[in-house]
Amino acid sequence: MTTDSREAVPENVQDEFIWLEGLRNEKALAWAHEQNAITLSAFTQGEDFELIREKVLQGLNSPDQIPGVWKCGHDWYNFWQDAKNPKGLLRKTTLDEFRKAEPRWETVLDVDALGKAENIEWVFSGFWNLKPGFERAFVVLSPDGGDACEVREFDLKTKEFVAGGFYLPVAKSRISWIDFDHMFVATDFGEGSMTDSGYPRIVKIWQRGTPLSEAVTVYSAGQKDMMAAGYQEVGEHDKRNYVVRVIDFYHREVFLVDDVHALIKIDIPADAKFTTWREWILIEPSSEWQVNGQVWPSGSLLTMNFDAFIAGERTLKSLFVPDTGSALSGVTQTRDQLNGFSHTRDHIILSLTRDVVNRLEVLTPKNGEWLREPFGHVPALSKISAWGLDDKTNEYFMSVSGFLQPASLSLGNLDNGADAEAELLKQDPSHFDASRYQVSQHFAQSDDGTRVPYFVVSRKDVVYDGKNPTLLYGYGGFEVSLEPYYLGVSGVSWMDRGGVFVVANIRGGGEYGPEWHKAALKEKRLRAYEDFASVAKALIASKITSPAHLAAQGGSNGGLLVGNMLTRYPELFGAIVCEVPLLDMYRYTQISAGASWIAEYGDPQKPEEWAYIREFSPYHNIDPQKKYPPVLFSTATSDDRVGPDHARKMAAKMQALGIPDVYFYENTEGGHSAAADKTQSAFKRALVSEFLLHFIGRKP
């Protein structure tokens, strides 16, 4: 990572700051330590910093917040963090207890106590149950909050780690139960077992009581593929095992694994997603799909009998077909699964959006047809979601929230009908006085005429004098949608300090389905940045703010977004907050997991692709003759996904060119979230708030 490769690259990308690359590079860490001292001195010594930090922390640690629970047999599990348990407790209760204002919880695993006993600052990163008995689980622990984790088998009855049980050392592993004695494992098996993206490429089945070295290989992906993994889908009456070859971020091959470990390819387009439910396969094509004499548009949801599909039949039926403005809602965490989809035992719950505002429908198969009913009620410009609790009942949870509305959690049963009122179980606390604020949705016109939606949250008595401190947030990549969500402690750290908050739904996201995402892929990337700039211009034109009082904030791909606001549109902004960003788009494929995103951005090692990538590489577009707004780069030493390298190098380069007001902060823990616990999160939020108000606050 720290090898100087300048002789191998074109002259215009020679890199004098390459010495700042490498997660644990001691010279780079020393530089980061010096930068932290400067930044903390500038923005944590004011009289308001500690007050804001403490208010935010109190909100994050509120005992009244809804404990997110998931059902495991008769128990309801939750992972909980607060002031007393900063690293968290894995705990369980019963439904009757959960209904109470103060449920009685039984501790299953104390992560803080584990860390003290083992002298490692463990960060809880996952919990995978063995179905259907729920007697065992895989506990996933990160030593620093990064993506590389340790995997241990845990006995849910004795509440102890299983001596001699399944165990994997720290790596970017992919795991899944098969049954009590077998698991899928894709991990670092040694030389040649990881892809160029840094993920496992070999999938094995590991039998209890045997060494990992004797695990049986069932699939090997290529070195240039993104990764491979094995997983299981468990229904009420069946299990299906799969192996997936992830070619790149948007293309994959999936194979059904039969009883003798033979692989049967699921014959769908490489960019389509699918899942199964009972006897059906459900498919969402990301591109137009011509099959069996019919053409299905991208973003549709199609279904037919799974066994018949495997046998070669293609009598597909549509459950959803998008039109202008509508789409399946959101992107799921696992890209092999579908958007906008959940289910109970007998029903499918669809989440749909129109102009980024969503609604729900219940679909029920009956006599060869699918009955469709509207489901749930939601206030304007809010978010409603519902999901089934398990495969054995028609019970569901429903949550409703909005920018000014704390989330609620209700329990319902579709046996009572889709129009039956659900039982309100919990309500998140309010962190700020929402009665003083208002939410509105607007549309800006981008450079090519595209209509770009955005939400504005402001005081009801806002004065359109161009002086309101306004924070514009965006992401614009990887088909991720930015839907309404409760601002929570952002109300404390920003709104209550006089700020206006804006969310831009730019191309590259998934707000209008796969085509909205594809509109900003690779050589079309600048469309996302033009969209974001168009929203900034609309805010300025409305006189809700002005360039001196407008800031842009984004993280990860959103960090690349605001990095481009910095270099391409500096005249529109009074400050930039650039978090865990990509910025050096020439070397991004050689830093941490960067090679896995070539499908999103392109390959800079190909001259014809570097020609367009360079246009949105902030690190290569800094012009010492330009005037730039103040900028705060933040990252984490343990970010093994994007890597701290980008933020370090960008800050150092700008400072070396004599550009003023370039600040940098690197947290040690937290991985790609840059905060390992709520104390660190509160500190970072207060730091950002102080930085913003220092530069874009309303001044006399």
Cβ(468)–Cβ(549) under 8 Å?
Answer: yes
| Per annotation, catalytic residue among 347, 517, 549, 672 | 672
- The DSSP element (H or E) to which 685 belongs, if any, is helix 678-696
Outline where DSSP puts E strands in 509-627: 550-555, 575-579
Is 549 among the catalytic positions? no
Start-end of H helices in 79-137: 95-98, 111-118
Other Cβ atoms within 10 Å of 319 Cβ, number: 22
| Per annotation, catalytic residue among 556, 592, 634, 681 | 556
For 15, 249, 578, the CA distances from 19, given in Å and listed in that order, are 9, 29, 21
**What does the DSSP assignment read for 441-482?**
EEEEE-TTS-EEEEEEEEETT---SS---EEEE----TT---
Alpha carbons 602 and 251: distance in angstroms, whole number = 14
Which token pair is 582? 């990509």
Classify 695 in phi/psi space as left (phi over 0), alpha (psi -120 to 50) or beta: alpha
**Nearest 5°: CA angle at 452, between 451 and 458?**
130
Cβ(21)–Cβ(649) under 8 Å?
Answer: yes
Nearest Cα residue to 256 out of 271, 269, 241? 241
Is 399 among the catalytic positions? no
Quick one: three-class SS letters along 415-451?
Answer: HHCCCCCCEEEEECCCCCCHHHEEEEEEEEECCCCCE
- The DSSP element (H or E) to which 689 belongs, if any, is helix 678-696
Other Cβ atoms within 10 Å of 308 Cβ, number: 14
Cβ(660)–Cβ(38) under 8 Å?
Answer: no
Alpha carbons 355 and 374: distance in angstroms, whole number = 18
Amino acid type, 323: D
Catalytic residue positions, numbered: 556, 672
